[in-house]
Structure 1
Amino acid sequence: MQVGNGFFAFGADISGLQTFQPWAIMSDWGWKNDSLPAGLLFIDGVGNVQNITEADLSDARQELDLWSGTITSTFAVDGHNVTVKTYTAQNSSTVGIAIHSTLVQDGRLCLFLDFPWNDGSQKFQAPYVGYWNDTNSHTTALTAGPGLGENVLWQISHTMSAASFYTTLGGGDNFTISRVSPTTHRYRLVPVEPSSSFSITVGYSPSNSEGVPSVAEMALESISNWKSYWSSSGFVDVVSGSTDPRAEELQRRIILSRYLMRVNEAGFTPPQESGLVDDGWVSNRAQSQEGYKHGARWSKMTDPTGRSAPGEINELLIWQQPHPLVFAEYEYRATQSRETLERWQDVVYETADWMANYARYNTSTGVHDLGPPMYVVSEDTSPNVTRNPAFELAYWRLGLDLAQAWMERLGEEVPVAWGEVKENLAPLPIEDGLYAVYEGIESDFWTTTEYTNSHPALVGLYGWLPQTSNVSLEIAKATAERVRTTWNITNLWGWDFPILAMSAARLGDADKAIDWLLDPYYQFDDVGMPLGGAQVPTPYFPGSGGLLYAVAMMARGWDGTQGAAPGFPREGWGVKVEDISPAL
């Protein structure tokens, strides 16, 4: 389970901390930081450390209160009950821990902190982060005394290569701290007062902290922020009015996905596909000029400065480029304000300007081509021959339409190049009456596993995307049906299933849309983590985001739909919607 705030997240095992499993503690600023486990340390009657494993616990129970963002863990050890409550601050990278047990009073239960080394070389080493036996590659140092900040008793600096990070301790009861051994980076924290309760705040930062909140303050802040989140944002209820037995599972996925997306992906620079759970992927998304004369290119993955992340595919992907235009459009639909138009103006302008610049005029055909070189959404074509992919052409048209409308709302002049490119894009490629992945692809691609094992972007032409002026609804429908009958569904993952659901919903097959959202190959674990499937590590949060987008569209509808929940079947489903705008 996790607690967090979108910028920082703490992963807990059954103990409420990281006693048995070194789940990661991650932040959006920790670009060289790694997991910093805080766990329970069990002591026997004569002062020796006990080797307690998860199997030694009895009556173990763990509950995540979604309304307050609190994990409560209860269990028994040697006949003694233990309760651990775990919180995170909502405005800093801080964990609050409250422990209650007679073991604390007897001096038999305290805490440890440990610090690993990680060189970042193991991209898919999920679910854990760091190496615990490479102690000579990094250093830690303990500092005590006044001047460390409000509520701070101790601070540990952790240096890896040229980067230093700080763990700040205090905010609760008094304690002593000592390093277990000069050859390790593990520290033992022992309460000073003989009490059955012990609380402590552990803060993480890339620089010296000004202080940490108390555990009580953190608990109140967490309750307040989570209550506001659940009370003031949109919601879809698929349970109270439904008789379909699958409604309970769909509602579970919706609610837990909303919780986990806020914990993992709600910061200013959202992390990679594994969120703040582990480093199964590299980098995040940011803006980058990339050397083009006009506009701003949105790379697939970058560091916070805008530099592209390592990867031979990243700079040849373009399908993500129009995303900011869609984000802007949805915010404007929600606010209808001049302030929104002005705040997004530069992003909209520069995004569209790059799109117009990227499309190259073909003197032989008289149209503007996309690529080569480029990769399509599924990243499974040869970049040197990939030209005019169907999905990207439709998305380019939609993006430039949205950008033009934005400038017109502002009363600004629309660049001539935008209209020239938009109206003269290459036509979507067609093979045997169906849309093809890209222009010139082998005619037998429908039966070639090389092209039918990854993201089925062709169904997004009318599903994720609304119908654009360069898309034939009749051909799009036939293409989507062909995808559903020929693609290797067992190899799909994440957002593939929501995009299939949105396609089915727009094409009038609501029963199939529900089937896709609950497909056996589209799984979420017991705490709501979206499984990676056959090709990627778990968690894969685009699966959560895709689910929420598809459910919102199916429940609220899209431009031009009438009636309630047009994407849900009429039989067995009663759906209620609050504060959600129609999809494009």
Structure 2
Amino acid sequence: MIDRYQLVTRHNPVYHRADIRAPLSVGNGEFAYTADVTGMQSFPEAYEKGQPLCTQSQWGWHTNPKPSGLSYEDFKMTEYDTPWGKQGFPTSSKGQKDLYAYLRQNPHRLHLGQIGMELKKVGGTKAVLEDITDIRQTLDLYHGILKSYFRIDSTPVQVRTACHPSREEVVFSIESSLLREGRLTVRLAFPGASPGRSFSEGRASLPDRWPDYLSAADWRHPEFHHTYLVESDTNTAVFLRNLDDDRYFVRAHWSGQGILKQTAPHCFSVCPQPGSDRFQIGFEFQRSSFEHDVDEIENTFRSSINYWSQFWSAGGAVQLSDSKDPGAEELERRLILSQYLTAVHCAGSMPPQETGLMNNSWYGKFNLEMHWWHAYHFTLWGRTSLLERSLCWYNANLSKAKRMAKRHGLSGARWVKSYGPEDWDDAMPSGIGPLLIWCQPHPISFAEACYKACQESACPESGVSILEKYGDLVLETAEYMADFVVWDRVNKRYILAPPIATAQEVHPPMTVCNPSFELSYWRYGLKVAQRWRERMKLGRSEEWDDILQHLSKLPVYQGVYLAHENCRDTYTRYNYDHPS
């Protein structure tokens, strides 16, 4: 029998120095808080050079006001010759940089609030990261608690950090004589949105570079957002945040007496009353005002312990400690850490962005093609409910996907890499994204995984209800796939015809025909959709069977598969990037 506690805890991350490229997070899939070596966001400037420290949620988004003179109707699509005639895709910014940038950069995910300690050295000067000594930080994976220990001027500080398993709340327990001496306060600072409006014209900018928006924060323009203190007493404060048409609430609550002070625009500190070496404080975030009472901070720690111990004690487990393979220990470590990271960052109600809820990649937007890697595995570990959280997003957006297919004269539902503003019925503008197709079969793959999981386990939800829940999603997705293939009259076969941006993203889209990965995934998706038709008592689609029978074979040259049919130099000229 596997000792799951030992299996998990032997891979607890332990730091003895600050690693600005690998900060640690606590979270629940809907909300995450990423901390430095103090267990809080005390030295965010140092981490800007590596992985910025953010507080993020699935609902925390901002959209810049549309600059005057910009209209979606004015966007010039790039025309491509397709099997269905000339069709336009949003792939070029030429002559329309402002509109292209606006559609690309909105909405963007928010950094909801920076929560850290302000530490003072003997003599009253503010401590910096280099003043921290004797670091020992441990992420207790089995209980979801981050434990941080360090010293300032030989004075020890201990911090425990945890996230509530079902609320957007992070709590801290701080122990140090610095509290009694008045040398430790808790700081809460609210940044503006990023990318925000430029100071001069209120317009977005191109080109966009990865480091420009990773931090999800704009600290330079306090005039573009508002923070209101709407409630305050001796141990509670509620803030209202307004960013143009978007708003959210933040509630700070602490044990014992503390004084709340505003130190700068959008910046506050909670100063514990001298006399105690222990201080506990929590911060909760919501889109709407708070209606439930404040919970005891220790209850949140207990809730985290209960949630994560149940997480690890249920579902699948793999132990490799008896293996003689030299790579076994590292493989086991990755198996454990990836389960924790994806549960924290990728198990929410939306497909996750590539960086989860740690910080922003591509403005915080999901890349649908990457959803499979982040979430499919949940079913294999016996945690299907975590996959279903984000699978339900496809159902909620099915109507939009059907409108996007109809725009191109095709039936069914079209799934694209990423989206622009909510009222923009097309892909997020990009030189590659609108032409990617390998995310199209994902919903079918996810739904099938959920169906199998319920069939193979004592799942409280029957396979029948899974069919009811995701049947339309599977069939509409497959309908688009069937409509997308093209009949090659000369060779009497169905093909995937250009323009296509392959998963590898390096091949000119107009040269791509029958990319191997996409072609095999298309076959899989249609086969599974046929099984769903049979399970739903609809009978097999004759059209889909004909496509499956005549779908092109994978392109092969000199005994190896090619990236696509027209790419014989796959392994010489195109052997870079992320080959598919």
1:365 to 478, 487, 491: 491
CA offsets per residue over residues 460-518 of structure 1, 9 Å max, x none? xxxxxxxxxxxxxxxxxxxxxxxxxxxxxxxxxxxxxxxxxxxxxxxxxxxxxxxxxxx
2:210 to 121, 124, 131: 124
Is the alpha carbon distance of 1:209 and 1:371 closer, same or farther for their aligned partners in structure 2, counting shifts above 3 Å?
A: farther
**SS at 2:331 equivalent:** helix
Matched, 1:153 2:222: no
2:330 to 249, 261, 275: 249
Equivalent residue number for residue 294 of structure 1: 411
Equivalent residue number for residue 37 of structure 2: 14
1:91 to 166, 172, 180: 166
Deviation of 1:230 (Å): 0.8
Deviation of 1:169 (Å): 0.9
Deviation of 1:12 (Å): 0.5
Query: C-alpha distance in 2, partners of 1:116/1:307?
Result: 30
Is the alpha carbon distance of 1:243 and 1:430 closer, same or farther for their aligned partners in structure 2, counting shifts above 3 Å?
A: closer
Aligned pairs for 1:60-71 within 5 A: 60-71=135-146
Aligned pairs for 1:135-284 within 5 A: 135-145=222-232, 153-170=236-253, 172-181=255-264, 184-192=265-273, 194-211=275-292, 212-239=294-321, 241-282=322-363, 283-284=365-366
2:133 to 58, 63, 68: 58
Aligned pairs for 1:499-538 within 5 A: none
Amino acid paired to 1:218: T
Query: C-alpha distance in 1, partners of 2:478/2:360?
Result: 32
Query: C-alpha distance in 1, partners of 2:257/2:484?
Result: 61
**SS at 1:295 equivalent:** coil
Deviation of 1:207 (Å): 2.3
CA offsets per residue over residues 239-261 of structure 1, 9 Å max, x none? 2x212232211111111111111
Deviation of 1:198 (Å): 0.9
Query: C-alpha distance in 2, partners of 1:294/1:213?
Result: 50
Equivalent residue number for residue 420 of structure 1: 546
Deviation of 1:439 (Å): 2.1
Equivalent residue number for residue 507 of structure 1: none
2:55 to 20, 25, 41: 25
Deviation of 1:407 (Å): 1.9
Moved more, 108-117 or 423-432: 423-432
Query: C-alpha distance in 2, partners of 1:6/1:160?
Result: 24
Is the alpha carbon distance of 1:310 and 1:259 closer, same or farther for their aligned partners in structure 2, counting shifts above 3 Å?
A: same
Contact persistence 2:53–2:215 (CA under 8 A): yes
Query: C-alpha distance in 2, partners of 1:404/1:82?
Result: 61
CA offsets per residue over residues 181-209 of structure 1, 9 Å max, x none? 3xx32111112473211111101222222
Matched, 1:133 2:220: yes
Query: C-alpha distance in 1, partners of 2:509/2:412?
Result: 23
Contact persistence 2:420–2:429 (CA under 8 A): no
Is the alpha carbon distance of 1:226 and 1:318 closer, same or farther for their aligned partners in structure 2, counting shifts above 3 Å?
A: same
Matched, 1:353 2:479: yes
Equivalent residue number for residue 28 of structure 2: 5
Deviation of 1:162 (Å): 2.5
Deviation of 1:393 (Å): 1.4
Amino acid paired to 1:366: K
Query: C-alpha distance in 2, partners of 1:242/1:78?
Result: 46
Q: What TM-score do the two structures reach when normalised by structure 1?
A: 0.72
Deviation of 1:171 (Å): 5.4
2:452 to 333, 350, 354: 333
| RMSD, matched Cα | 2.3
Amino acid paired to 1:28: Q
CA offsets per residue over residues 42-98 of structure 1, 9 Å max, x none? 24678x5x3201221222111111011000111121232211111111111111111
Moved more, 68-77 or 366-375: 366-375
Query: C-alpha distance in 1, partners of 2:121/2:504?
Result: 56
Deviation of 1:303 (Å): 6.0
Is the alpha carbon distance of 1:303 and 1:84 closer, same or farther for their aligned partners in structure 2, counting shifts above 3 Å?
A: farther
Query: C-alpha distance in 2, partners of 1:118/1:405?
Result: 46
Query: C-alpha distance in 2, partners of 1:244/1:432?
Result: 34
**SS at 1:421 equivalent:** helix
Equivalent residue number for residue 74 of structure 2: none
Deviation of 1:152 (Å): 7.8
CA offsets per residue over residues 395-453 of structure 1, 9 Å max, x none? 11111111111221232222222212221212322333432222233x334321xx210
Matched, 1:453 2:563: no
Contact persistence 1:26–1:276 (CA under 8 A): yes
Amino acid paired to 1:299: V
Is the alpha carbon distance of 1:65 and 1:304 closer, same or farther for their aligned partners in structure 2, counting shifts above 3 Å?
A: farther
Moved more, 280-289 or 55-64: 280-289
Query: C-alpha distance in 2, partners of 1:375/1:143?
Result: 50
Query: C-alpha distance in 2, partners of 1:238/1:123?
Result: 41
Is the alpha carbon distance of 1:304 and 1:419 closer, same or farther for their aligned partners in structure 2, counting shifts above 3 Å?
A: farther
Matched, 1:81 2:167: no
Aligned length: 445
Equivalent residue number for residue 73 of structure 2: none
Amino acid paired to 1:42: L
Contact persistence 2:235–2:256 (CA under 8 A): no
Contact persistence 1:68–1:223 (CA under 8 A): yes
Contact persistence 2:254–2:279 (CA under 8 A): no
Equivalent residue number for residue 372 of structure 2: none
Contact persistence 1:152–1:168 (CA under 8 A): no
Contact persistence 1:23–1:35 (CA under 8 A): no
Amino acid paired to 2:541: P
Is the alpha carbon distance of 1:123 and 1:215 closer, same or farther for their aligned partners in structure 2, counting shifts above 3 Å?
A: farther
Query: C-alpha distance in 2, partners of 1:136/1:36?
Result: 17
Query: C-alpha distance in 1, partners of 2:539/2:444?
Result: 17
Amino acid paired to 1:131: D
Contact persistence 1:172–1:201 (CA under 8 A): no
Query: C-alpha distance in 2, partners of 1:304/1:233?
Result: 38
Deviation of 1:116 (Å): 1.6
Matched, 1:318 2:444: no
Is the alpha carbon distance of 1:165 and 1:372 closer, same or farther for their aligned partners in structure 2, counting shifts above 3 Å?
A: same
Is the alpha carbon distance of 1:360 and 1:386 closer, same or farther for their aligned partners in structure 2, counting shifts above 3 Å?
A: same
Amino acid paired to 2:554: L
Equivalent residue number for residue 555 of structure 1: none
Is the alpha carbon distance of 1:219 and 1:307 closer, same or farther for their aligned partners in structure 2, counting shifts above 3 Å?
A: farther
